[in-house]
A and B are shown apart, each in its own frame.
Chain A
């Protein structure tokens, strides 16, 4: 295999992994606070369609991503009001959020369907990325770097800051956290909004870095993969990054199966399904090896109702 192909594979891998990683990092923080938001896919679609609309209207990428994050965070806050303030069932409400996001994006995106969207490139000067090997370091879209920075940032926040400690405490034992005087609902609202914003940015990746146009269901179920990754990665940011990149690597088969004859031994649907299958298998193997305690936040999905 020539080095060009290897580099092309690695570039594709990073691109494919990035939206999943961004959305999953947001969901990781949400779940660490004890909330299960199954609406990731819906929020990603809201982010994606808002990105297309703002980019095509204003041409400003930064504004588009900011609007996507804000819109998806707003969608997440609807979920927050229902589940946190009104103590609705989180699973049902999350599913409803996905349906809402899917429907909203289809309706809102109709005028933009098929129009091509200008993509964003690397944040580094183009000269740095002329050499193929340098391209591997400096030639990715800005989202790839953002996602990697966020991996470290989320880890650092959860493990090294007092706010992160409080957030984990709220997810671990909400009643105790409440009795110590921490605002369980407040922390969860903040986490849910952050998760929404991250899903919105993840959604923005699709039109701006992967498929530069709007079509219905543009995110093709990647929000569900992000949800599954959080669980299989045992709520650890670095393992989450590894899982997302592995998934990205497997996605390449899908791409090459369409173009290369050597993949024809098996139907293309198989290659399309492979990343999902392989990710699940690998992550299950990883979590099997670690014996003992399940690392799920103890209050995950349980509504909090303050006593007294």
Chain B
């Protein structure tokens, strides 16, 4: 790369303060034309705040942004787009009830007649191999397709800097590859790319430079192609990585959770029906369910937890007893505990104290209610135990659930269920939006629970998490579960194809 090139984007001393936190502290780096530049850091490291300032959503408290060498003030996203900055958000800003075309039209600053816009959309789609029907309603599209809308929308403006915020967190491995092809093509054409992620192998595969943030400060700028994943991870979390300890030579015990041809109609207009889901989890086993979001994970969790009942009691059994027709309360008494994906509002009531939240799931197993009256002292004691055992950062059992950070609340919820010593634990997205330290603690707790003889089901979209945690793995797609496979020696490509909806070994070999 030519040294004399003026950087497309330069940041100097960018500082942003929120009440109680310094989100960015004197951050500075530059992005060259045509460079794919990684912005790396844990949740809460200040990556999102930084790019929001580049895209004009927020203003820095101090510091300077230079665009092609000229100092600029980016007042709002419109100004950013005018400069040539495009952004694809982690959480898509899409309008569910509208068509692809309408969604893209909303993202355009210039007024373009619908027909002309459609022609330009089709041209961009052809150029980059992004295929989509402009007249489909967004609510009918998969997550990968929705991301394509965002990318097309950004590309229509012919950006010279494209910011991608955690773009692969919801994609299958194959979709990730397709995305990388598009990004490399863009970079070859001279567009700079600022790629935000915490997935190190992706950054190694894609990026030329990586800027690492920790706690709002820039800790290093390095070349990810020569670094190892481990060395970058250590810079990211600031210290040695703690390995998860799996006890060696475990033997699995008797079958504890048996799911036999579980079928359920989808709940609600967009619910995914389950078809003949069959799997067995033995004592001491951690069973992973992989899949792209929206393929029936929610329905499966609800079916296992007892929020949705099956018409066939034998469809689900715990320790040999059929529970398919029993509601959640009865299943809890039989030894099942569950942690849904949504922390606030489903797993916990944000306005309630931690002690009251404990009563909601532990009242029967731990006898917290007698004659209709809550024994608040035992609830407080148990909440205190959970806080201590799981190192939850909270003022005490009287703190409201909503006052805890995501990671701490997740640790609390996991602790609340695990300390009840369930014989079967079902958990969805155990480390979604949780920092690496808390994630490691949660993973260790799951492993310890299994080692103590419980059967654990982990539903997650994070394939890396499942591969490091589980003994057995199956993939859910369109409400159907693949055949379980041993994680040791599992073929990532096959898992990816299953996630993309190709079933059976024959089909895999045919591709």
Q: Do A and B bind each other?
A: yes
Instruction: Name the distance in Å between B102's Cβ and chain A's nearest Cβ.
Output: 6
For chain B residues 152-181, which have a beta carbon within 8 Å of chain A?
none
Closest to B89 in A: A179
Is B139 an interface residue when CB atoms closer than 8 A count as contact? yes
The interface-forming segment of A42-50, A139-147, A161-169, A238-246 is A161-169
Instruction: Name the distance in Å between A175's Cβ and chain B's nearest Cβ.
Output: 7
Closest to B59 in A: A308
B77 & A181 in contact (Cβ 8 Å cutoff): yes
For chain A residues 150-177, which have a beta carbon within 8 Å of chain B?
162, 165-166, 168-169, 172-173, 175-177
A180 & B105 in contact (Cβ 8 Å cutoff): no
CB-CB under 8 A from B95, the residues of chain A are: 168-169, 172-173, 176
Question: Interface readout for A286-299 with B: 1 if CB under 8 Å, 0 if not?
Answer: 00000111110010
A295 & B97 in contact (Cβ 8 Å cutoff): yes
Question: Interface readout for B55-76 with A: 1 if CB under 8 Å, 0 if not?
Answer: 0011000000000000000001
For chain B residues 226-285, which have a beta carbon within 8 Å of chain A?
269-270
A162 & B111 in contact (Cβ 8 Å cutoff): yes
B269 & A180 in contact (Cβ 8 Å cutoff): no
Interface centre among B58, B77, B106, B111 (most CB of A within 10 A): B106
- Bound-state CA distance A294–B269 (Å) is 9
User: Given the interface contacts A162-B105, A293-B269, does A179 sit within 8 Å of B98 by beta carbon?
Assistant: no
User: For chain A, which range describes its interface: under 10, 10 to 19, 20 to 34, or 35 or more residues?
Assistant: 20 to 34
Closest to A160 in B: B114
A298 & B97 in contact (Cβ 8 Å cutoff): yes
- Bound-state CA distance A182–B108 (Å) is 11
User: Given the interface contacts A180-B77, A181-B77, does A166 sit within 8 Å of B106 by beta carbon?
Assistant: yes
B57 & A179 in contact (Cβ 8 Å cutoff): yes
Instruction: Name the distance in Å between B104's Cβ and chain A's nearest Cβ.
Output: 11
- Bound-state CA distance A181–B270 (Å) is 30
Closest to A166 in B: B106
A169 & B106 in contact (Cβ 8 Å cutoff): yes
Is B94 an interface residue when CB atoms closer than 8 A count as contact? yes
The answer, among A168, A172, A308, for a CB contact under 8 Å with B52, is A308
CB-CB under 8 A from B486, the residues of chain A are: none
A308 & B58 in contact (Cβ 8 Å cutoff): yes
CB-CB under 8 A from A173, the residues of chain B are: 93-96
The answer, among B58, B105, B106, B139, for a CB contact under 8 Å with A177, is B106
- Bound-state CA distance A291–B271 (Å) is 14
- Bound-state CA distance A253–B405 (Å) is 62
- Bound-state CA distance A39–B323 (Å) is 51
B93 & A180 in contact (Cβ 8 Å cutoff): yes
Closest 4 CB pairs of A and B: A176-B93, A181-B78, A172-B95, A292-B269
Known: A293-B97, A308-B57, A308-B58. 16 other contacts (CB 8 A): A162-B111, A165-B105, A166-B106, A168-B95, A169-B98, A169-B106, A172-B97, A172-B98, A173-B95, A179-B89, A179-B93, A180-B77, A181-B78, A291-B269, A293-B139, A293-B269
B residues adjacent to A (C-beta < 8 A): 52, 57-58, 76-78, 89, 93-98, 102, 105-107, 109, 111, 139, 269-270
